[in-house]
Chain A
Amino acid sequence: MKGDASQVKGPEEGGRSGFKSTFGKKILKVLRIREMGVLLALLILFIFFSFASEYFFGLTNLLNVLRQVSLLGIMAMGMTMVITCAEIDLSVGAVYGLASTIAGMMMTKGGLSIWASLVLTLLVTAGIGFMNGVLATFVRIPALIVTLGVMNMARGLALILSKAQVIGVNYRTVTDPFIDKFLYLGQGKVFDTVPMLALFLIIIAILSYLIFNHTIFGFHMRAVGGNPVAARAAGLSSYKVKIITFTILGLLCGLSGILNLSFLANVQGTVGRGLELDVIAATIIGGTSLMGGSGTVIGTVIGVLIMGVLRNGIMLMGINPFWQEVLVGMVIIGAVAIDVWSSRK
């Protein structure tokens, strides 16, 4: 055990200690939080790029980073829940692409109202998540395999529906008069500065934090992932918990896909290729263990930001973009190495 003040003293003694040691304890408590390692890594990247590129440290660019990682980040929130339950979902990138395609096709070729298109799309992606959950629990196919299969199916369906064409989404192709409002979701800026996408990320992150840390359901996720046998013996139904998390992730993929459609203003069946790996990487960099049971929303937010800052900074420095991938790879391994090393100590 580490010899810090808060662990040595009993709870009844705590009140008697003076201001100085209370303050010291608070500092120690902050330093001991789980996410400290990744936060430090983010800070180092931040400082490094601030010096390396004159364009990096500015409100416009930083908001831009936030916008770039927003869709990834929204899905990483759901991924954190799924991985905390000791499951995995490889289908997120493909479902995101499918959502974008379905919504776009329904409002253009389908002639449906935008509202109907969006609601139907979310129903479909939530349904896919639900199905992933059922297959991975009641049918007992490992989630890795279920979602690998679903990934391929969703990819194929997206290409079939879009006939592999790029179809514009604008006032010419969509009859619904709300098209401007829809495009504002992905492209607009609040007060002309904060991108709507960044706002979406912030809202989803706060909601996820509340679910994760303040609800019975969040508690159950961590219990089921931490020790499934004990969870069952304690009267929890792990299948139910897992199916709901898969469904939430499916819903978030739908939301991200819709926002992507609004941002690009066109339908592309190929969108989201390889995105699943970025989502998983951001989650893992944030300290969520693939073994389940330990994950934090704040950690994932930091993980997402690390991915964004890294990509953005490298681009601003004018380094060959292919190096991005190499560096991201190194950061994934490095972050997990730090996590494993620090938790062993």
Chain B
Amino acid sequence: MEDFLDFTHITKKFPGVVALDDVSFTIRKGEIHAVVGENGAGKSTLMNILGGEYPPDGGKALLEGKELHIPNPYTAHKLGISIVYQELKLCPNLTVVENIFLGREREEGSRRANWRRLADAAAEILESLGANISPREMVKRLSISEQQQVEIAKAISMNSKLLILDEPTSALTLKEVNQLFKNLLFLKEKKQVTIIFISHRLEEVFEISDRTTVLRDGKYLGTFDTNSISKGEVVALIAGKQLAIELQQSHSRKEEGRKPVLEVKNLSRDRFIRDVSLTLYEKEILGIYGLQGAGRTELLETIFGIYKPDSGVVNIDGRRANIRNPKSAIRSGLALIPEDRRRVGLFLNFSVRENICVSILDKVSRMGFVLFGKINEVAQKFVRSIGVKVKDIGQTIGSLSGGNQQKVIISRWLATQPRIFLMDEPTRGIDVGAKVEIFSLLRKMREEGVSIIFVSSELQEIISESDRVIVMRNGRVVSDLKGENINKETVLHYAMQG
């Protein structure tokens, strides 16, 4: 088979991370090529470069021998590249046919759109995909899998040569996955479309793909004929066993058998969390690992009362905690470092000291009047003890680095004197030095009697920092690991295929 798409020395840097580090590999014409790797391996970055979301910092991509310049998504379409994102990008208030032909309503030379003809064309494509969808249906009335079929139909209608699917199966049922795979084979065989299939579900990768490329931490680890390699070998590659960079575990794990502090029993919410039960013990760091969409963030947010669970109970110190909203969660001694710092954590219109004190205003005021001296005192105390690097506690929070912003948020919650600290990706987007500081802070908090649930996408962090590890997959707890069992391979095994 001939070469279709050549990546040569592609590099992409974001502040604090190298998302793609000198990645070179080839995609052959007409193949289904899987790209696998942990969260943050660089899969999505690669796709976004092809989609015209942003350009690479170095290297180039050749499409059928010609160098690609994709300054925007429009150009990507022009070049015959279609991307089906995990978060589908359709207009919910338009019909199926309007979505499929959006921006291409008029034929060359005609002044008006012939909707009847377009609807017929749409119906034909949808039928070829085995989709039972009326072109006149509003997209918002379709299920996720039907919307995905519309996206694929759109790609076909554009005569795309390259179709990229980002985690296409994450929201599908088994039956829908089978239909999707049938359609992908149809596109490959009948339409000669080249397909890049990005996934972290290895069974599916092995079922559908011809070749597989493995990325880790933005680095290219190799491309294999899928039927010449085993799942175990791929997991080992993803986990990095080959390179033997197992960092030494930075502290001894604590034995359990102490008093349970937080007990979650049969907690469920929608399709995000399914029947989750877990126990957090006194003075323990409990790590929760899972791939994107496993339900980790949703679990923490539900425990913290941001969302109401459909069923299940949360006990604190053996007694049922009545948590209706974050306010009552705080009163019960909980604190949450949110995953999305900008959206759920920071007040960008506030200064550093205001961000620190926003949850403890009643402690720094008298009869409703804020005592600025006390605010300064509290803020100054935390800035010093946690090591937030600021020039002035009155400066706006937006001018700090990500790591320092995170420390401000940790300060805010420490000020509420929590007994149970829920931390969702506390190290996301911050530099290595700040990470180390945050981990030593975590351990210090544990010594002082705080129990911590620590969620991270970085496997290494989970393994080296947790006393115990829970693995989630598809909204369920699939494994509760301790001691010897906390190693990369076991954790990944459960996260991907458990």
Within 8 A of A (CB), among B271-316: 304, 306
Of the candidates B327, B329, B347, B369, the one whose C-beta lies within 8 Å of that of A223 is B347
* CB < 8 Å neighbour of A234 from B368, B391, B393, B412: B412
A216 close to B349 (CB less than 8 A): no
- Residue of A218, A230, A236, A237 near B346 (CB, 8 A) is A230
Q: What's the minimum C-beta distance from A228 to chain B, rounded to whole angstroms?
A: 10
Assuming the contacts A6-B392, A11-B392, asked whether A227 and B346 have C-beta atoms less than 8 A apart, the reply is yes
A172 is an interface residue with CB less than 8 A from chain B: no
Q: Which residue of B lies closest to A232 (CB)?
A: B326
What is the CB-to-nearest-CB distance from A35 to chain B, in angstroms, rounded to a whole number?
15
- Cα A218 to Cα B343 in complex, Å, equals 21
Cα-based distance from A231 to B349 in the complex (angstroms): 12
Q: Which of A214, A216, A293 contacts B362 (CB 8 A)?
A: A216
B345 nearest in chain A by CB position = A230
Complex partner residue of B327 from A1, A218, A237, A294, CB under 8 angstroms: A237
Q: How far is the CB of B360 from chain A (nearest CB, A)?
A: 10
Docked-complex contact A219 and B361, CB < 8 angstroms:
yes
Write the chain B residue with the least CB distance to A8: B391
Q: A7-B395, A223-B350, A233-B344 are in contact. Are A215 and B359 (CB under 8 A)?
A: no
Q: How far is the CA of A229 from the CA of B304 in the complex (A)?
A: 13
Are B345's CB and A219's CB within 8 A?
no
The number of residues on chain A lying at the interface, defined by a beta carbon within 8 Å of a beta carbon of chain B, is: 31
Query: A217 at interface (Cβ–Cβ under 8 A)?
Result: yes
Indicate if B485 sits at the interface (CB-CB under 8 A): no
Q: By the criterion CB–CB under 8 Å, are B347 and A227 in contact?
A: yes
Contact B391 A214 (CB under 8 A): no
Residues in A whose Cβ lies below 8 Å from that of B306: 232-233
- Whether the Cβ atoms of A215 and B369 lie closer than 8 Å is yes
Shortest Cβ distance from residue A210 to the other chain B in the assembled complex, whole angstroms: 8
Residue of B nearest to A11 (CB): B392
A6: B residues at CB distance < 8 A? 392
Tell me the minimal C-beta distance from B137 to chain A in angstroms.
28
- A7 and B365 CA atoms in complex are apart in Å by 28
Note all chain B residues with C-beta closer than 8 A to A234. Answer: 326, 358-359, 412
Asked if A215 and B370 make an inter-chain contact with CB atoms under 8 angstroms apart, the answer reads yes
Q: A235-B326, A235-B330 are in contact. Are A11 and B370 (CB under 8 A)?
A: no
Is A9 interfacial (CB 8 A cutoff)?
yes
> Which chain B residue shows the least CB distance to A294?
B349
Least CB distance, B365 to chain A, in whole angstroms = 5
Q: Is B249 an interface residue (CB 8 A)?
A: no
Inter-subunit contact B395/A217 (CB<8 Å): no
* C-alpha gap A219/B345 in the complex (Å): 16
**Contact partners of A220 in chain B: CB under 8 A:** 361
Known: A11-B391, A229-B344. A235 touches B370 (CB 8 A): no
Residues of chain A lying within 8 A (CB to CB) of residue B178: none
Closest to A225 in B: B349
Q: Does A242 count as interface, using CB distance less than 8 angstroms?
A: no
| Cross-chain contact of B345 among A11, A210, A225, A233 (Cβ < 8 A) | A233
Measured CB to CB, the closest approach of chain A to B480, in angstroms, equals 28
Task: Contacts A9-B391, A235-B327 given; indicate if A216 touches B361 (C-beta within 8 A).
Answer: yes
B358 A223 Cβ-Cβ under 8 A: yes
A8, A215, A230, most chain B CB atoms within 10 A: A230
At the interface, yes or no: B453 with Cβ under 8 Å from chain A? no
Q: Which B residues are in CB contact (< 8 Å) with A225?
A: 349
**Distance (whole angstroms) from the CB of B378 to the closest CB of chain A:** 14
Judge if B30 is at the interface, Cβ distance under 8 Å: no
Task: Mark A235-269 against chain B: 1 for CB-CB distance below 8 A, else 0.
Answer: 11100000000000000000000000000000000
User: Which residue of chain A lies nearest to B371 when distances are taken between CB atoms in the complex?
Assistant: A214
Is there contact, CB below 8 Å, between B368 and A217?
Answer: yes
Q: Give residues 66-109 of B contacting A (CB, 8 Å).
A: none
- Chain B residues positioned under 8 Å from A235 (CB to CB): 326-327, 329-330, 359
Tell me, yes or no, whether A10 is within 8 Å of chain B by CB.
yes
State A320–B348 Cα separation when bound (angstroms): 45
Chain A residues lying within 8 Å of B336, measured Cβ to Cβ, are 233
A311 within 8 A of B: no
For window 360-402 of chain B, which residues contact chain A by CB distance below 8 Å? Answer: 361-362, 365, 368-370, 391-393, 395, 399
- Which residue among A6, A216, A217 has the maximum number of chain B CB atoms within 10 Å of its CB? A216
Q: Mark A9-36, 1 if CB is under 8 A from B, else 0.
A: 1110000000000000000000000000
A234 to B365, CA, bound (A): 17
Which single residue of chain B is at the shortest CB-CB distance from A227?
B347
Kindly report which residue of chain A lies nearest to residue B412, judged by CB atoms. A234
Alpha-carbon gap, A210 to B372, bound state (A)? 13
Given A214-B369, A235-B326: A230 and B343 within 8 A (CB)? yes
**Does A7 contact B369, Cβ atoms closer than 8 Å?**
no
Determine the distance from Cα of A161 to Cα of B236 in the docked complex, in whole angstroms: 82
Q: Does A226 count as interface, using CB distance less than 8 angstroms?
A: yes
CB pair B368–A215 under 8 Å, yes or no, is yes
B263 beta carbon closer than 8 Å to chain A: no
User: Nearest residue in B to A291 (C-beta to C-beta)?
Assistant: B349
Q: Tell yes or no: A222 within 8 A of B by CB.
A: yes
Distance (Å) between the CB of A84 and the closest chain B CB? 9
User: Which B-chain residue is minimally distant from A292 (CB atoms)?
Assistant: B349
> Are the C-beta atoms of B349 and A222 separated by less than 8 Å?
yes
Instruction: Give the interface centre of B306, B338, B344, B354 by most chain A CB atoms within 10 Å.
Output: B344
- Once A232-B306, A233-B306, A235-B359 are accepted as A-B contacts, the answer to whether A216 and B346 lie under 8 Å apart by CB is no
B128 adjacent to chain A (CB < 8 Å) = no
Question: Is B227 among interface residues, defined by CB-CB distance under 8 A?
Answer: no
Q: A237 to chain B: which residues have CB within 8 Å? A: 325, 327
Point out the residues of chain A lying under 8 angstroms from B350, CB to CB: 222-223, 226
Asked whether, in the complex, the Cβ of A233 is within 8 Å of the Cβ of B338, the reply is yes
A-B contacts, 23 of them at CB < 8 A, read A6-B392, A7-B391, A7-B395, A8-B391, A215-B368, A215-B369, A216-B368, A219-B354, A219-B361, A223-B350, A227-B348, A227-B349, A229-B343, A230-B344, A230-B347, A232-B325, A233-B326, A234-B326, A234-B359, A234-B412, A235-B359, A236-B358, A293-B348
Seen from chain A, the residues whose Cβ lies within 8 Å of a Cβ on chain B are 1, 6-11, 210, 214-220, 222-223, 225-227, 229-237, 293-294
Besides A215-B370, A234-B358, A234-B359, 15 new A-B residue pairs in contact (Cβ under 8 A), listed by A number? A1-B399, A7-B391, A7-B395, A215-B369, A216-B370, A217-B368, A222-B347, A226-B348, A227-B347, A233-B306, A233-B338, A235-B327, A235-B329, A235-B359, A293-B347
What residues make up the interface of B, taking CB atoms closer than 8 Å to A?
A: 304, 306, 325-327, 329-330, 336, 338, 343-350, 354, 358-359, 361-362, 365, 368-370, 391-393, 395, 399, 412
